[in-house]
Each structure stands twice: as C-alpha cells, then as structure tokens.
Amino acid sequence: MATSGEAITVAPRQRRKDAKLATIVREAWDLARRDGLAAISLRDLAARVDLRQPSLYAYFESKHDLYDLMFADGYRQLLAAAAPEIAGDPRRRLVEFVRRLVQFSTEDLVRHQLLFQRTIPGFEPSPESYRLAVEFYDLARSRLAEVGVTAPDDIDVFSALVSGLGHQQIANDPGGDRWVRQSERVVDMFLADVDRRRGANDGRGTT
C-alpha cells in the first residue's frame, strides 16, 4: 500500500503521462489529416512529440492501440458536441440533435472515417473505448424516446438517415451546409413515417 508521500509523487508523474498521451493523440489526428488514417507514420509521430519511436510504446503497444486511443478521443468529442441540453419541444430538440451530428461529421473527415466507417482493416475498438460509443448510442436513443420512438427498427432507420446526411455533406459539399440544412426535413419525414406505420398497425390507417 502506497504511503501519502508516495501518492504525492505518483500523481504528478501520472499527470505528465496523461498530458503527453493527449499530445500524442492530438498529433496523430494531425498526421491522419495530412497523410490519411492508414498512413500515419509512427516515426513522424515520435518526432512531433519529442520522443524516439521506441518510446512511443510506453504509451501504446501497437498502431491499432493508437487508433483505439483516437477512437475514444473522437467519441469524447462527439459526446461533448451532442450532449449539451437543447431548448424547445422534443421535436425541436431532435432536429437540433441531428444538425449537431451532421455538422460534427463534416467538420473532420478522418475523424468521421475512424468513428463511423471501417477504414482500418482489422481494427476493433477496445471494450473501454467502445463504451463511449455505447454512451453516445444511449444518448441518441433518449432523444428519440422523447418523441416516442423506441422500436429498434425505427432507431436503425434514423441512424441510416443521419449517416446519409453526413456522407452526402462530406462527399458533395465539404465545408458547406447543403445537407446540414436538410436536418429538419429529414426529421419531419422520419416522424411522419413512424406515425403512419403506427396508424396502420393499430387500425387507424386508410384503405
């Protein structure tokens, strides 16, 4: 068991390591934006953070572990962007939630690729990092529950619609807002379809 004196010396050491790790992840994102995710050079990364390349392995054990650190960092950024409370009625909050998600996707292509596409062959996030993705998914489900949407199939369709807006924005209007502006229309179409299907299922639909 560590004494109080040992605890005092360990804490600053851990803080320094955490700060260095944050710098490594930040520089890794910059390299990915310059060269592409798959082309991140550990030699270049080490030079950027004033380390010899072998010293990087004190912070992560493999390149996939580096991607895992970036994956976790990306989802923390997504939660920070999407989680703040939104004013208005449930529908308005859902529209703003979608707008935030589409905007987030379009702000950083390589982050979008790592979080939402299988860009790196063989990469799977660790359970610890994936818990952040689950936390975001739970947040999205809570926003949908506010407007009465809880069925798994409806949630899947919603996810596909939002992803489609993000992909279209990135592919066809990078840096713009052409598809971001469609967030409200897509939400209205989605909710109208959910309501129509409910009506058909409970006998309220027209023949």
The answer to whether residues 86 and 33 belong to one domain is: no
> Over the stretch 12-35, which tens digit does the pLDDT of each residue have?
888 888 999 999 999 999 999 999
Residue 207's pLDDT is what?
43
Greatest CA separation found in the chain? 79
> Over the stretch 174-184, which tens digit does the pLDDT of each residue have?
989 999 999 99
Question: Tell me, what CATH number does 1's domain have?
Answer: 1.10.10
Mean pLDDT of the chain: 92
Domains contained in the chain, number? 2
Host domain of residue 47: 1-59
> Over the stretch 66-99, which tens digit does the pLDDT of each residue have?
999 999 999 999 999 999 999 999 999 999 999 9
**Mean predicted confidence (pLDDT) in 143-157:** 97
Residue 203's pLDDT is what?
63
The answer to whether residues 91 and 164 belong to one domain is: yes
